């Protein structure tokens, strides 16, 4: 059996969330479980198309389906989102430092531009 590494799971999660329809489905499921028909309501696409999006989310581990009588409601599994949050938090100091440097550079450019306008 093939097992995914943490890095592979993170890649699948980011790939699944790269699509706006799938992000909207995740946002809806954050409110509570829903059937495929309920998830499809806001979209102008066929049920098979919505089902394909749900399958991508399932493969990424973001969606699980329960078995209740004759229907299978979808629910959000937050574990992959926690992994994304952890990954982002680990990189926050680096990004913060880079944004600070970029802000300093933009300030420097503005000052140079203002100086050249004042002198010219």
| Alpha helices per DSSP H over 30-78 | 36-40, 47-59
Q: Total domain count for the chain?
A: 1
Residue-number span of the structural domain to which 12 is assigned: 6-119
Which range, 49-53, 84-88, 94-98, 115-119, has the best average confidence (pLDDT)?
Answer: 49-53
Q: 104 lies in a domain?
A: yes
Cβ contact 22:53 at 8 Å: yes
Q: 1 lies in a domain?
A: no
CATH value at residue 99:
1.10.10.10
Residue 38 CA to its chain's centroid (Å): 21
Nearest to 23 by CA among 64, 73, 63: 63
For residue range 67-93, list pLDDT tens digits in order.
Answer: 777 778 999 999 999 999 998 898 888
């Amino acid at each position: 059996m093939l097992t995914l590494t943490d890095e592979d799971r993170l890649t699948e999660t980011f790939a699944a969330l790269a699509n706006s329809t799938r992000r909207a489905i995740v946002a809806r499921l954050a409110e509570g479980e829903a059937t495929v028909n309920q998830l499809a309501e806001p979209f102008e696409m066929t049920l098979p198309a919505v089902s394909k999006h749900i399958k991508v989310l399932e493969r990424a581990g973001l969606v699980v389906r329960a078995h209740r009588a004759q229907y299978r409601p979808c629910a959000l599994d937050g574990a992959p989102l926690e992994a994304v949050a952890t990954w982002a938090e680990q990189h926050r100091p680096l990004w913060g430092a880079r944004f600070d440097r970029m802000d300093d550079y933009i300030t420097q450019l503005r000052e140079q531009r203002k100086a050249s306008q004042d002198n010219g």
